[in-house]
Amino acid sequence: MAILELERLSRHFEVRPGFVDRVVRRKPSSYIKAVEALNLTVGHNEILGIAGESGCGKSTTCTMVAGLLAPTGGDIRYKGDSVLDLKGAGLMEYRRRVQMIFQDPYESLNPRFRISEIVAEGPTALSLWDGDEIDERVNAMLNAVGLPHHKYADRYPHELSGGERQRVGIASALVMEPEMVIADEPLSMLDVSIRAGILDLFKDMQSQRHFSAIYVSHDLSILGNVADRLMVMYLGQAMEIGPALEVIRNPKHPYTRALIGAVPVPDPRTRRAIPNIRGDISKPIDPPPGCRFAPRCPHADASCGERFMELDTADPHLHQAACHKLDVINDG
Amino acid sequence: MAATTEPVLSIRNLGVAYETSQGPVHAVSDVSFDVGADEVFGIAGESGCGKSTLIRSLLRLLPNNGTMTAERCTYKGRDLMAMSDEAFRSTIQWQEISLVPQSAMASFNPVYRVGDQIIESMRAHRRMGRAEAWERAAGLFDVVGLQADLLRNYPHEFSGGMRQRAMIAMALSLDPGLIIMDEPTTGLDVLVQERILRRIREIRAEIHSAIILITHDIAVIAEMSDRIAIMYGGEIMELAPSVDLFENPHHPYTLGLENAFPSIRNVGKDLISIPGSPPTLVGPVESCPFEPRCPFRIDGCAAANPAVVDVGDGHQVRCLQTGDVARMRTLAREKSTWRS
Ligand SMILES: Nc1ncnc2c1ncn2[C@@H]1O[C@H](COP(=O)(O)OP(=O)(O)OP(=O)(O)O)[C@@H](O)[C@H]1O
Ligand SMILES: Nc1ncnc2c1ncn2[C@@H]1O[C@H](COP(=O)(O)OP(=O)(O)OP(=O)(O)O)[C@@H](O)[C@H]1O
Ligand SMILES: [Mg+2]
Ligand SMILES: [Mg+2]
């Protein structure tokens, strides 16, 4: 059974014009449609990767799932029950089980707390264990993310490097022994060697107990390494989903193809292929109707602006792309 | 690619220490390099090895407990060490040397519109009307792939990568002579990244800026840099022209690092990581900082910090065993070599 289901989840943000435009010119509000009719199922013990353009709605999706932002449409179900009307103790319990690792480690750590206090905050607030055990677990977790507690426990966030801060965020989430982790670019500031160690930590948790994760990253090779399934988004819509390695090796959607084609290789003699998409920048404010990738798609025709295909994500083995023109593309 | 003309930035024996309750932490020691006009100088190295500290010291942005020392630190021939804070702020910082900080996503003031912040910073340094500044900001937003309408939005209405891009736009706004970018692409997908890096290369050719690029993304550093410095434990371990560094690596740390590069060409393959943990940097440097983790260490490594050896063509290595590099390269490819 699925642990998490997103059903036509949407989040729109209103962008109000300036006072003069609004009152004198009666200009209507515009909308940033950050997430649009997103369907997603995450299985027990599954790590689901999300990749996509900067600004395509990954963090917005994460914060909604973590119960920190209300959707403007659709539903989020955890173990079958909607989490949207959770309140009080129920919401607290949900937030303990589902932990979020935030994208920006410069914004998310309380500057007045020492590192040990930051990591101990969650367990202490909920009295998960007695004081000594909390200390022990906090120290063990700091060590596990490569921040030896004798060196780091008493420091403040401003005394840490970017990658060190990022690991404090990881430790704070994992120390809660969550059932599910929503990891938003958790390793973006870490070097490959430390990354490998923390990915092992995720995989250990996954193998030792019921543990699922949504793992957002721009690094497709990490996603290929850690994620069971991969979803690719563009401007709020899901473009493709399937087993991670299959999506990376045989991308179907024109956007995914362009994305994977543009991954640079660590070799100063090779130049990146120029992506086969049209150059216009994407427009999150009042996005085009239908498939939002259509204005940049080399294969698009008028029909693409009319309707968008929603994906059925319940079958974890299915590899699908939200594109009407796959036949044409694959022939050419 | 050693610069034939006068370097834009020249530093010798730069060090930074942080005062802590456990004693001074030597976050950066004995760093020397030049950045040529028109050059892209890449810096890579483990988390916590001192990259941000190094560039914060160059821009006088160290926190109160940090102190910088240097034998030389010049920008276009001007001695930065001799300059007062005031002179530095009014003539160098931001207009001559701009910075995309690692904290770029959190760098905008939350209560002002992003566009206003960018044009105010331009107008503070240049005579420019609001309309002209706004137009320039819109042009810069196009460079970083952002819809110009977004200039009217507040920072919290931007995604992480959008804020990072807005900061890149701001760092380009005054045509500085040196642009320092600390992890500028952590929030960017590869397509947006490709666009921005391509446009930065074009702009750089027009305005003749040098760039210092710090990143963990080895593919990006390979793509962009003319020369690359690999740091470990506060020191530069190896410095070489990019192609030479990749095809002819010498330092054991560089060899270990290259094993751990993930590549889209071989996803799913196990990566070999370097066991052990980084040095604490408390107290003076008396041995090679990589010695405890180095599979090729010999007796001399712990006795003194090795001097920098030039192995030819401006390729510098801080290691005693540069003569034995062929053997080390072969062994470094074996996973068993890196077992602790
Ligand atoms: N509070 C808000 N008000 C208005 N717009 C918002 C708000 N939060 C996010 N947005 C917009 O929603 C869209 C999606 O943002 P989100 O942060 O989810 O992107 P993302 O996929 O995480 O991008 P990145 O990879 O750059 O972090 C963006 O266009 C952003 O400008
Ligand atoms: N204000 C401070 N006081 C004490 N130590 C500090 C302070 N700031 C940084 N450090 C320490 O100095 C070392 C170098 O930090 P720096 O931020 O330069 O690393 P970095 O190479 O940029 O790492 P990253 O890639 O993770 O950003 C780290 O071990 C860090 O913990
Ligand atoms: Mg985000
Ligand atoms: Mg840093």
Contact of A225 with chain B, judged by CB distance below 8 Å, is answered with: yes
Please report, for chain B, the start and end positions of each structural domain, with discontinuous segments joined by +. 7-96+176-338, 104-175
Number of separate domains in chain A? 1
For residue B218, pLDDT beyond 80: yes
Which chain B residue lies closest to A264 (C-alpha atoms)? B219
Q: Higher model confidence: residue B270 or residue B315?
A: B315
Measure in Å the smallest separation between the Cα of A48 and chain B Cα atoms.
Answer: 16
Which residues are near ligand 3, the ion (C-beta closer than 5 Å)? Answer: A 59, 103; B 159-160
Cβ <8 Å between B187 and A263: no
| pLDDT-flagged residues of chain A (< 50) | none
- CA atoms of A53 and A218, how far apart (whole Å): 8
Query: Which residues of chain A does B100 touch, with a Cβ-Cβ cutoff of 8 Å?
Result: none
CA atoms within 13 A on the CB side of B175: 8
pLDDT surpassing 80 at residue B269: no
Q: What is the pLDDT of residue A316?
A: 84
Of B106, B147, B242, the CB nearest to A104: B106
Question: Residue A54: CB within 6 Å of ligand 1?
Answer: yes
Task: Give residue-wise pLDDT tens across range B70-107.
Answer: 999 999 999 999 999 999 999 999 999 999 999 999 99
SS (H, E, C) chain B: CCCCCCCCEEEEEEEEEEEECCEEEEEEEEEEEEECCCCEEEEEECCCCCHHHHHHHHCCCCCCCEEEECCEEEECCEECCCCCHHHHHHHHECCCEEEECCCHHHCCCCCCCHHHHHHHHHHHHCCCCHHHHHHHHHHHHHHCCCCHHHHHCCHHHCCHHHHHHHHHHHHHCCCCCEEEEECCCCCCCHHHHHHHHHHHHHHHHHHCCEEEEECCCHHHHHHHCCEEEEEECCEEEEEEEHHHHHHCCCCHHHHHHHHCCCCHHHCCCCCCCCCCCCCCCECCCCCCCCHHHCCCCCCHHHHCCCCCEECCCCCEECCCCHHHHHHHHHHHCCHHHHCC
B266 pLDDT band, cuts 50/70/90, is low
Give backbone dihedrals phi and psi of A328, rounded to 5 degrees, phi first.
Answer: -60, -45
Asked if A54's CB is within 8 angstroms of B161's CB, the reply is yes
* Ligand 1 centroid, distance to A58 Cα (angstroms): 8
Model confidence at B340: pLDDT above 70: no
pLDDT at B18 over 90: yes
d(CA B171, CA B218): 23
Residue A206 C-alpha to ligand 3 middle, in angstroms? 24
For A168, the domain range is: 4-331
Q: Say if residue A111 is exposed, middle or buried (CB neighbours under 10 Å; 0-12, 13-18, 19+).
A: exposed
Nearest CA in chain B to A222: B262
Q: What is the residue-averaged pLDDT of chain B?
A: 91
Index of the ligand 1 atom closest to the CA of residue A35: 14
B77: left (phi over 0), alpha (psi -120 to 50) or beta: left
Cα B63 to averaged position of ligand 2 atoms, centre (Å):
11
B322-330 average pLDDT score: 92
Q: pLDDT-based confidence at B281, cuts 50/70/90?
A: confident
Please report which ligand is nearest the Cα atom of A194. 2
Global pTM? 0.94
Mutation for testing the A interface, residue in B41, B264, B271, B338 having most A CBs under 10 Å: B264
CB atoms B223 and A281 under 8 Å: no
Nearest to B216 among A53, A60, A190 (CB): A190
Six token digits for residue B322: 């540069």
B277 lines ligand 1 (CB under 6 A): no
- The answer to whether A191 contacts B44, with C-beta atoms less than 8 Å apart, is yes
- Dihedral angle over CA of B151, B152, B154, B156, nearest 10: -60
Of the listed ranges A71-75, A230-234, B4-8, B185-189, the least confidently predicted one is: B4-8
Scored b (16 or more CB within 10 A) or e, B25-41 reads bbbbbbbbbbbbbbbbb
Superfamily of domain B7-96+176-338: P-loop containing nucleotide triphosphate hydrolases (3.40.50.300)
Give B-chain residues touching A30 at CB under 8 angstroms: 149
Q: Which of A63-67, A197-201, B49-53, B231-235 has the lowest mean pLDDT?
A: A197-201
* Dist. CA A212–CA B139, nearest whole Å: 43
Closest in A263, A277, A281 to B145, CB measured: A281
Which of A12, A59, A184 best tests ligand 1's pocket when mutated (most atoms within 8 Å of CB)? A59
Residue A326 phi, psi dihedral angles, 5° rounding: -60, -35
Q: Which ligand is nearest to the CA of B215?
A: 2
Whole-number Å distance between alpha carbons of B27 and B51 = 9
Q: What percent of chain B has pLDDT over 90?
A: 78
Residue A56 CB less than 6 A away from ligand 1: yes
Rounded to an integer, what distance in angstroms lies between the CA atom of residue A210 and that of residue B325? Answer: 47
Asked if A205 contacts A211 with a C-beta cutoff of 8 angstroms, the reply is: yes
Name the 3-class secondary structure at A49: strand
Task: Say how far apart CA A300 and CA A325 lie, in whole Å.
Answer: 8
Q: Which two tokens stand for residue B22?
A: 């456990």
A12: domain CATH number is 3.40.50.300
Q: Is A174 on the interface with B (CB under 8 A)?
A: no
Residues B63 and B52 sit within 8 Å (Cβ to Cβ): no
Distance B81 CA to ligand 4 centre (A): 23
Report phi then psi at B309, rounded to 5.
-110, 135
User: Ligand 3 centroid vs A313 CA: distance in angstroms?
Assistant: 22
**Shortest-distance Cα residue to atom 4 of ligand 1:** B157
Side-chain-facing half-sphere of A221: CA atoms under 13 Å:
25
Torsional sign, CA B257, B260, B261, B265: positive
Cα gap A204→A198, rounded to integer Å = 10
How far does B77 lie from chain A, in Å, by closest CA?
A: 31
Shortest-distance Cα residue to atom 22 of ligand 2: B52
How close does chain A come to B70, measured CA to CA in Å? 22
pLDDT of B243 over the 50 cut: yes
SS (H, E, C) B39-71: CEEEEEECCCCCHHHHHHHHCCCCCCCEEEECC
d(CA A246, CA B194): 24
For residue A58, give the 3-state DSSP assignment.
helix
Distance CA A212, CA A5 (A): 13
pLDDT higher than 70, residue B37: yes
Nearest protein Cα to ligand 2, atom 25: B47
Q: By C-alpha distance, which of B189, B138, B186 is closest to B164?
A: B186
Per residue in A136-172, pLDDT (tens digit) is 999 999 999 999 999 999 999 999 999 999 999 999 9
Model confidence at B2, pLDDT cuts 50, 70, 90, reads: very low
**Rg value, chain B, Cα:** 21
Comparing CB atoms, the residue among B47, B103, B165 nearest residue A194 is B47
Mean pLDDT to the nearest integer, B290-310? 93
The 8-class DSSP code of residue A160 comes to S
Contact residues on chain A for B106, CB-CB shorter than 8 A: 104, 106-107
- Going by C-alpha positions, the residue among B324, B329, B295, B330 that lies closest to residue B311 is B324
Q: Report the chain B residue with the minimal C-alpha distance to residue A55.
A: B159
- Taking the centre of ligand 3 as the mean of its atom positions, its distance from the CA of residue A58, in whole angstroms, is 6
Residue B160 has pLDDT above 70, yes or no: yes
Q: Which atom of ligand 1 is nearest to the CA of A58?
A: 21
Contact B105 A259 (CB under 8 A): no
CA-based nearest distance A127→chain B, Å = 30
Q: Which residues numbered 65-124 in A keep a CB inside 8 Å of some CB on B? A: 103-104, 106-107
Q: How far apart are CA B283 and CA A209, in angstroms?
A: 43
Best residue in A19, A110, A192 for a mutation probing chain B (most B CBs within 10 Å): A192
Beta bridge partners of B232: B235
Please report where in the chains the tokens 């994500």 appear, as a residue.
A313
Token pair of B303 as six digits: 């006795």
The mean-pLDDT minimum among A69-78, B165-174, B229-238, B284-293 falls in: B284-293
The ipTM estimated for the assembled molecules is 0.93
Give the residue-averaged pLDDT of B1-9: 70
